Chain A
């Protein structure tokens, strides 16, 4: 019993200590915290809000790209404003962005040297206590204590897994350690106190690049970043082992052995009255690069499906099979301002090893603002077995022509009957 009380007391004292610490930190950092608002010029009202923090004495402020994305794409329609903790407002200018890591640098005019956040030069320890700052739902600046839980597993672009509740509006706010040094930037949440942060080194890199040479145009900077990111992604995918795996009874499909592509499976083996026995394997890069509210890129989905006729003839099997592949859609969201219509080509194709004969469809649409970036879609249906079928399908968003064709070639040659 005594031990229990001691434990409770200990816990209480610890939590009160954490509260004190948070309060102290908040008061210390308050002057360098901002709410960032995007104002629609025509209506004069705010169209989106987020948080930001000053990282230099001369007024450079870091925030998320997605907080100011509308301005980056339509600079004539909006203006960016800040609101500091004393209620002062002012205009901000966009300096530089990192669309892949969802970061942006904006700048305010300063008349005198101002306090600012220091960026950490070390990554935190697992379990270390961190403090997330920001202005959730326009409710005022708050501080949220939480725990560092390492980098998110199976992720292509690095994100810190932060246990603590981050809410919308806190996006772009800093996350500091006990020494008040920035270790990350609030970026996303998946609810239930699971939050994600952009690691501080991404911000350091963006800031250093900005010091060397500020970007000539934000659009060109974004195009270059998107292009470099897909180059890195596809290089890694093409150079990783593609393991042949059995799907259904006779299908052989490639499973790309990279941690950030995760696969799931399903089948209708339990449905007694189904006319066709189907097994599906789905692999996807569970990541989206946010460009605007209705334009995401950087995603990748791969799907394989085997079908086996049970009590039906070949003719009926192929009729039902055709219905299965008639309506493939894009893997990412994009509107008419962002992309062209799809252009498609279909043909009968047999790889050199003659292990399978397919009807294959390849479609692509171009990005209007970013040169040599496309969304591609591939769909292939085997046509050489009377009562069996193997469908292979992928979509990749934001890829250049060479990479798209190289990946398609490798993919086509990796799918076969065994």
Chain B
């Protein structure tokens, strides 16, 4: 009956996991052991062999006794230290291991986990994953890049003062596609360099889908500018749309490319959006000359099919214009 006491049962089921981690505590490799004594070192008799020249051939031993794992440093050249959460490094010899301790030996780090370590709850697939899966599908990706190319070429055609032949159209749209592909490719490269999965197809799919949405928001902005008077708030509301789109794209880029908490991702995306728009506005403001001899007005014109608003009378226009004189007089007095 004594053999069945609880401590022994626990002892037998409590496995130990030794994780090789990077300096930034990123997981490199994971080893699970079930024996009560583990030898770690550089030579080949060890249970865990670490090819680090600053580690001794028989560097340390981890042993289970009295329900605890204890480290023994075998009088090594460079010693062994242990770092615990929010504490300074201390000598690891005779240290009783806690779950999550990181042991430094030579230039390597080992993190210890016990098999009863609590893991985070399972994250269900988010709707974003489903959307991303659709967008990264080769057919969908090709379609959205093709749409982008046609739109880019179309805009080139519309703005060109001369006749445009098919080759010019093709060259300009391919140039635009390649130019805009730099962004998702760059993000994928950065995630690859930071030891994360590049997921280039997903980045391309999401980015081009959003670039197309941005064309649409541009178009919407033109339509509102065309249809509204200078004292209307509508164009400002539509401009918000492009800010929201930029934020969403950056958020998804981060979601695909980098593992980080939702809060951090939101902060990163919001900061880059603020930098893009706020920084742009700041540069414009700082470059604004003290005096501008040219009038600044909005001359957006579109074909009559996009005309939706009804026109004002000449009387109304004259009345609205008369308010400008008051503003100009105020400015004249200020200076």
Q: Enumerate chain A interface residues (CB-CB to B < 8 A).
A: 273, 275, 314-323, 325-330, 334-336, 340-352, 357-368, 374, 377, 379, 381, 383-386, 401, 405, 408-409, 412-413
Contacts and interface: CB of A to CB of B under 8 A. Distances in A.
Given A345-B320, A346-B297, 19 more contacts: A273-B163, A318-B302, A334-B293, A335-B291, A340-B332, A341-B292, A342-B296, A345-B231, A347-B317, A348-B307, A361-B297, A361-B299, A362-B317, A362-B324, A363-B295, A363-B324, A366-B331, A379-B299, A405-B321
Contacts of A386: 303-304
Contacts of A348: 227, 229, 307, 309-312
Interface string B181-194: 00000000000000
Contact of A362 (B158, B162, B307, B321): B321
Given A348-B311, A368-B335, A322 B321 contact: no
17 contacts: A347-B229, A350-B313, A351-B313, A352-B314, A358-B311, A359-B226, A361-B295, A362-B317, A364-B328, A366-B329, A366-B332, A368-B332, A374-B325, A374-B328, A377-B295, A384-B304, A405-B318
A323 B297 contact: no
B288 to A, nearest CB: 10
Nearest to B305: A314
Contacts of B117: none
B298 A317 contact: no
A377 B292 CA distance: 14
Interface residues of B, number: 49
B331 A275 contact: no
B211 interface: no
B161 interface: yes
B301 A329 contact: no
B296 A344 contact: yes
A349 B295 contact: no
Nearest to A341: B292
Contacts of A330: 293-295
A323 B162 CA distance: 13
Contact of A344 (B291, B297, B302): B297
Contacts of A360: 317
B300 interface: yes
B64 interface: no
A409 B316 CA distance: 11
Given A318-B301, A336-B290, A341 B318 contact: no
- Pairs of residues from A and B, 9 with the lowest C-beta to C-beta distance, nearest first: A336-B291, A342-B295, A366-B328, A350-B311, A347-B229, A363-B295, A344-B297, A322-B301, A340-B331
